[in-house]
Amino acid sequence: MAVSIQQLRFAYPSDTAKTVLNIPEWSVAQGESVFLHGPSGTGKSTLLNLLAGILQCREGTLEVLGHSLHTMSGRQRDRFRARHIGFVFQQFNLIPYLNVLDNVLLASYFADRASGREDALTLLQELQLDAELCRKKASELSVGQQQRVAIARALISKPEMLIVDEPTSALDTDNRDIFMQLLLELVQRHQMTLLFVSHDRSLDRGFHRSVSLQEFNQAAHAGESI
């Protein structure tokens, strides 16, 4: 299994009275692509952040790619994420003053799987970003270009799992369709597990499974308190 969750409960330390996630059981198979949707504020980003080890699971079990994240320290989770997970954030989080190529190479450095310039340039080319563009600073790119750099950065260390959080909201329909096609092709070619969050249900074409968080998160129904 790529993801296996049992009896997970999560509340933010700053608001412990509010259970954001209460998931009795949920799993994702290796190589599966899952489109996760649900109304705003129901905990989609929170779930992705737990799966990537950015947030800590304090109650229940959370296994990702066979690793027990619920027993790991913060440092171990950071290392796990750098090695095994590619994460594309809503705001991309590129480093604005570094050029495109260096933004991508920096991620491979942190993963301890240093990929060379050639690998990075090939990947950027696959994502339709040419050599000239790769010399530009991230702050000089369009939103669509930044998005593709963020994907390249997530893929450079050859992660087994790619997590993408609502990445298309700033794009027009044509660019969105091109982006989705590119993403799904890359995921299939590299045989990765994909978890993709969006409000936009029309994007779920091509995924193995489309699921609402409310189907398996009990906290979303009850407005539950611990």
Ligand X SMILES: Nc1ncnc2c1ncn2[C@@H]1O[C@H](COP(=O)(O)OP(=O)(O)OP(=O)(O)O)[C@@H](O)[C@H]1O
Q: Which residues form the interface with ligand X (CB under 6 A)?
A: 12, 14-15, 20, 38, 40-46
Nearest approach in angstroms of CB 85 to ligand X is 17
Strand segments (E) across the chain: 3-10, 21-28, 33-37, 59-64, 67-68, 85-88, 161-165, 193-197, 209-212
Nearest approach in angstroms of CB 94 to ligand X is 20
User: 63: which strand partners?
Assistant: 4, 68
| φ/ψ (deg, to 5) at 42 | -90, -5
Name which of 38 and 167 has its Cβ closer to ligand X: 38
Spatial separation of the C-alpha atoms in residues 83 and 77, rounded to whole Å:
10
Nearest approach in angstroms of CB 189 to ligand X is 28
Name which of 39 and 116 has its Cβ closer to ligand X: 39
| Nearest residue to 104 (alpha-carbon basis) of 161, 167, 152 | 152
Query: Rounded to 5 degrees, what angle do the CA atoms 71, 74, 79 make?
Result: 95
Name which of 43 and 86 has its Cβ closer to ligand X: 43
> Taking the mean position of all CA atoms in its chain, how far away is CA 168?
13
**Residue 196, CA distances (Å) to 101, 113, 137, 186, 203 in order:** 25, 24, 27, 14, 10
| φ/ψ (deg, to 5) at 161 | -130, 135
Nearest approach in angstroms of CB 138 to ligand X is 23
Name which of 44 and 148 has its Cβ closer to ligand X: 44
Name which of 16 and 181 has its Cβ closer to ligand X: 16
Strands 21-28 and 3-10, sheet pairing: antiparallel
Name which of 160 and 166 has its Cβ closer to ligand X: 166
- In this structure, the number of other CB atoms found within 10 A of the CB of residue 133 comes to 17
Name which of 10 and 207 has its Cβ closer to ligand X: 10
Nearest approach in angstroms of CB 210 to ligand X is 16
What is the torsional sign of CA 151, 183, 36, 193? Answer: negative
Nearest approach in angstroms of CB 21 to ligand X is 8
Nearest approach in angstroms of CB 175 to ligand X is 21
